[in-house]
Amino acid sequence: MPELPEVQATVDGLKRRVVGRKIKDIWADWPKVLKDPLDQSKIKHNHIAWARKFLRNEKIISMGRRAKNVLVYLSNKKVILIHQKMTGHLLVGKWRVKNNKVTPISPRSAVNDPWNGYIRLVFYLSDGNMIGFSDLRRFGKIVLGSKEEIENLPEIKNLGPEPLDKSFMFGDFRAVLRNQKRKIKPVLMDPGVIAGIGNIYSDEILWRARVSPKTNSNKLSEQDLKNIFSSMKFVLEKAVKLRGTSISDYRKPDGKEGGYAPVRLVYGREGEPCKRCKAKIVREKIAGRSAHYCPKCQKI
């Protein structure tokens, strides 16, 4: 699932290409993807007509990110919230849609890379370009609402702080983690505690901090907390700079892979030697998620 660095790369990549354009039309092959903020469980009757009425001729004023959500700000105080969930990613390019069959035209990676070939929804823009949503497993969702409705969604309102915010200081971080009795890995991954960290970066952060993912959060020493905090900033900043991790489906809006996977420290490296002590990296289920860690140099 795209995490903070991948979603940030998506927003940055889209911003350059789509801000200032108007949305002319929308196509989707899957009605459930379009959600009404007041009742997300309900499938809209005539969903395309509803979305078309909402979007048509609205200008894209700006774009942003909150946790793993892409936010597209439109004229008339309207907002599109896009959660890419498990396998979704947004691309800018051109596609031909005929009889619900999508043929990619550009960019080249949309044509050649099979991970870019699951286009389920297209926004048509005023400059002839399009935003395409490729989503193999169709878990992604797009909520159309007023700024107020989107800001009041529980999934936005109940989010914890952004880990890369300059105002999120060590004191706040320590206070939050000391209050949690769960293991540190699920705590870092809880969006209500800290927003935007998932399976990949929680593993990377804990390896760099030399802390076992199984340590109880409220038992962490002052030094452990400092190490996790600085590792969190370091790892996420590095991954944002490298535009995210493309181990399977994630791609940048130009359809190309992010640059973090080749430099990753521990995630997906089970059975390989630890980059610090050469012990074998293990993979283990912790609170329902698979954690990768070094049993020798990551201490409880």
Interacting residue ranges for Zn ion, rule: CB under 5 A = 274, 276-277, 279, 294, 296-297
Burial 175-203 (b: 16+ CB within 10 A, else e): ebbeebeebbbbbbbbbebbbbbbbbbbb
Task: Point out the catalytic residue in the list 147, 289, 295, 296.
Answer: 289
Total residues found in the chain within this entry: 300
Nearest approach, Cβ of 297 to Zn ion (angstroms)?
A: 3
Compare residues 85 and 276 and give the one whose CB is closer to Zn ion: 276
Nearest approach, Cβ of 35 to Zn ion (angstroms)?
A: 44
> Would you call 289 a catalytic residue per the annotation?
yes
Distance, CA of 39 to CA of 146 (rounded, Å)? 14
Nearest approach, Cβ of 36 to Zn ion (angstroms)?
A: 49
Nearest approach, Cβ of 288 to Zn ion (angstroms)?
A: 24
> Would you call 257 a catalytic residue per the annotation?
no
β-strand 101-106 against 119-125: which pairing, if any? unpaired
Tokens describing residue 27? 């196509």
Q: Which residues neighbour 43 within 8 Å (Cβ) at sequence distance 6 or greater? A: 31, 32
> Would you call 2 a catalytic residue per the annotation?
yes
Compare residues 96 and 280 and give the one whose CB is closer to Zn ion: 280
Compare residues 64 and 273 and give the one whose CB is closer to Zn ion: 273
Compare residues 256 and 275 and give the one whose CB is closer to Zn ion: 275
> Would you call 65 a catalytic residue per the annotation?
no
Task: Point out the catalytic residue in the list 68, 120, 141, 208.
Answer: 68
Distance, CA of 289 to CA of 300 (rounded, Å)? 18
Distance, CA of 52 to CA of 62 (rounded, Å)? 20
Catalytic residue numbers, as ranges: 2-3, 68, 289
